[in-house]
């Protein structure tokens, strides 16, 4: 038992912790995506500020490469958010560099005429100007989509043209492509003079915000671990409480299944759901106990009902053998009557069993209600004169054989209940009502298979009439209701 309790509690604990972990990971993913988006916006803003300041710094309309590089150096030195610059000649080769990468590594300043491209985003391009120096290069070519700002050097206003282009860019191997925020091109007319790759810090590497983000990372990690620990403790106690209820319910139901009693001790309910479960189980146990008692009573009655005609036949046969009863047609007729009663009761039990086992939908047909009336009058012979029908012109939509059987059982119960008239009303194609004078008992459910009918219906019989009707209604997807209406009992079939 202890092993099962531990295993069950561990399953509950792990399941809830998995949900908590998933929720925490989703929150971290959302926060990370937000920070990355804000970081990209921050980098874009730094690049745009630098490009605009560079465009405004032009004083003349005549620049050579050296003076352009010097101007870029000067503007970058006054902007501490720009980490470095890479200068490209018209051919794309890196001719100089300034500053550092985003992570603080120094940028190489040698030329990259012997560079070899590397595989980036499924792009594989290899070339070299000097075959002997392959493998010693410090640069790589990489495809990137970046903002490209163009400054016209032959204009005092430094006219800017902004575009987003996907280009093959040569960068140092130690520099990741995402560290290049944008490109500034200096042109005279359509001729490219110089291209500058601008490397910027981001909030995680910028001096004034780096400490904040580092501490934020540690705080986030600490809070995540603390949250998991608090959740683990809370989940442990919650799962243990839930497991305690589950174990108590297991023990109670085990006792209930092994004994014939509804007096069992259910575990204490602490939530509305557990209270509802406890109440439902107690009602179920009470209903099962009533069903057991009713079944035993019904079996005793059934045994008596079957033994009565058997004993009568046996008595007649023994009496004829001993000479107590004359062996004549009258005595044989009495034995035949008792045998017919026994046969009828066995037939009704067989009918009920067949209906209960049937799952096939019946064949539905349309027929006049008057045919049902004539069949009932003929079946009940003299008692049929106490049947009063209304709505004979109604067309009934049902299986004729099964509805006839069901209506016969209801009429038989009603005729046996009293000596007054029995009223049968065809209220529609799929509804029939049977009314007779009588009173329903207060302490039994007439619709229960094991219960007998109302107090007036206390003649011998095995109590299968109502159950047969219920099975017919089940096959028609309908229902049977029996209610007290004034001094009458009303049974209604609807399907």
User: By mean pLDDT, which of 272-281, 288-297, 365-374 is the weakest?
Assistant: 288-297
| Contact partners, residue 250, CB within 8 Å, separation at least 6 | none
Q: What's the domain count of the chain? A: 3
pLDDT of residue 134: 33
Tell whether 257 is covered by a domain: no
The runs of H, that is alpha helices, within 83-180 are: none
Same domain? For 479 and 377 the reply is yes
Q: Within this chain, do residues 64 and 200 fall inside the same structural domain, yes or no? A: yes
- Concatenate the DSSP letters of all residues of 174-195 into one string: TS-GGGEEEEEEEEETTEEEEE
What is the domain extent for residue 111? 60-204
Residue 175 placed within a domain: yes
User: For position 6, what pLDDT does the model report?
Assistant: 55
- Evaluate whether 151 touches 182 at the Cβ level (below 8 Å): no
Is 47 part of any domain?
no
Residue ranges in 127-271 assigned as alpha helix (H): 207-258
Say if residue 490 is in the same domain as residue 378.
Answer: yes
Residues 380 and 301 in one domain: no
Q: Which residues pair with 493 in a beta bridge?
A: 432, 480
Q: Is residue 306 part of a domain?
A: yes
Q: Which tops the pLDDT comparison, 344 or 80?
A: 80
381 plus 341 within the same structural domain: no
pLDDT in tens, 437-461: 988 877 655 655 444 444 433 444 4
CA distance 126 to 285: 82
| Inside any domain, residue 216 | no
* pLDDT at position 3: 44
- Residue 385 pLDDT exceeds 80: yes
Tokens 């590497």 belong to 205
In whole angstroms, how large is the CA radius of gyration of the chain?
48
Q: What is the pLDDT of residue 28?
A: 82
pLDDT for res 357: 77
pLDDT on residue 111: 42
Q: Which residue has the higher pLDDT, 137 or 253?
A: 253
Residues 66 and 93 in one domain: yes
Whether residue 350 is found in the same domain as residue 382: no
pLDDT for position 247: 82
Q: Which residues contact 387 (CB under 8 A, 6 or more apart)?
A: 373, 376, 377, 380, 411, 415, 421, 422, 424
The CATH number for 367's domain is 3.30.565.10
Same-domain check for residues 325 and 381: no
pLDDT at 157: 55
65 and 198 co-located in one domain: yes
pLDDT one-digit tens code per residue, 409-422: 999 888 988 889 99
Tokens of 145: 């989509």
Whether the predicted pLDDT of 66 surpasses 70: yes
Of 471, 436, 275, 434, residue with least CA distance to 359: 471
For residue 136, pLDDT beyond 50: no
Whole-number pLDDT of residue 448? 53
| Residue 452: per-residue pLDDT | 47
- pLDDT at residue 137 tops 60: no
User: What is the C-alpha to C-alpha distance for residues 1 and 8, in angstroms, rounded to an integer?
Assistant: 10
Name which of 310, 358, 381, 338 is nearest 468 in CA terms.
358
* Cα angle for residues 101, 107, 108 (degrees, 5° grid): 160
Residues 439, 443, 446, 449, CA torsion sign: negative
Query: Do 401 and 336 lie in a common domain?
Result: no
- Which position has the higher pLDDT, 279 or 332? 279
Output the pLDDT for position 365. 93
Asked if residue 261 is part of any domain, the answer here is no
Mean pLDDT of 336-346: 80
């Amino acid at each position: 038992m202890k092993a099962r309790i531990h295993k069950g509690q561990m399953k509950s604990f792990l399941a809830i912790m998995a949900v908590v972990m998933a929720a925490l990971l989703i929150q971290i993913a959302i926060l990370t995506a937000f920070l990355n988006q804000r970081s990209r916006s921050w980098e874009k803003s730094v690049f745009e500020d630098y490009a605009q300041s560079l465009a405004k710094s032009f004083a003349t309309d005549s620049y050579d490469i050296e003076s352009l590089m010097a101007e870029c150096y000067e503007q970058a030195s006054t902007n501490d958010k720009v980490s470095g610059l890479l200068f490209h000649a018209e051919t794309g080769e890196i001719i100089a560099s300034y500053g550092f990468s985003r992570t603080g590594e120094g940028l190489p300043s040698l030329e990259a005429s012997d560079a070899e491209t590397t595989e980036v985003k499924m792009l594989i391009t290899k070339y070299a100007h000097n075959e002997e120096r392959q493998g010693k290069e410090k640069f790589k070519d990489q495809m990137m989509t970046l903002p490209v700002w163009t400054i016209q050097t032959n204009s005092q206003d430094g006219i800017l043209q902004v575009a987003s282009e996907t280009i093959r860019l040569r960068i140092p191997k130690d520099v990741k492509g995402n560290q290049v925020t944008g490109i500034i091109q200096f042109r005279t007319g359509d001729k490219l003079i110089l291209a500058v790759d601008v490397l910027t810090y981001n909030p995680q590497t910028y001096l004034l915000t780096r400490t904040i983000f580092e501490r934020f990372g540690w705080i986030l990690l600490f809070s995540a671990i603390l949250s998991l620990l608090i959740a683990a403790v809370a989940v442990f106690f919650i799962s243990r409480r839930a497991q305690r209820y589950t174990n108590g319910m297991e023990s109670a139901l085990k006792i209930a299944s092994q004994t014939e009693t509804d007096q069992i001790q259910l575990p204490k309910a602490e939530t509305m759901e557990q209270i509802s479960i406890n109440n439902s189980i107690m009602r179920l146990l009470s209903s099962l106990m009533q069903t057991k008692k009713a079944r035993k009573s019904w079996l005793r009655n059934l045994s008596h009902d079957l033994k009565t005609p058997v004993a009568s036949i046996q008595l007649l046969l023994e009496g004829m053998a001993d000479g107590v009863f004359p062996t004549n047609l009258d005595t044989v007729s009495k034995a035949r009557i008792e045998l017919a009663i026994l046969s009828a009761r066995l037939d009704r039990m067989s009918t009920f069993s067949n209906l209960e086992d049937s799952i096939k939908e019946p064949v539905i047909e349309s027929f006049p209600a008057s045919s049902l009336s004539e069949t009932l009058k003929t079946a009940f012979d003299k008692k049929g004169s106490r049947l009063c029908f209304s709505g004979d012109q109604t067309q009934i939509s049902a299986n004729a054989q099964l509805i006839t059987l069901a209506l016969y059982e209801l009429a038989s119960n009603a005729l046996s209940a009293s000596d007054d008239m029995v009223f049968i009303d065809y209220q529609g194609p799929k509804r029939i009502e049977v009314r007779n004078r009588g009173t329903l008992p207060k302490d039994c459910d007439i619709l229960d298979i094991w219960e007998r009918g109302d107090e007036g219906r206390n003649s011998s019989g095995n109590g299968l009439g109502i159950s047969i009707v219920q099975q017919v209604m089940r096959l028609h997807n309908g229902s049977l209701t029996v209610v007290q209406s004034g001094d009458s009992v009303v049974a209604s079939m609807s399907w």
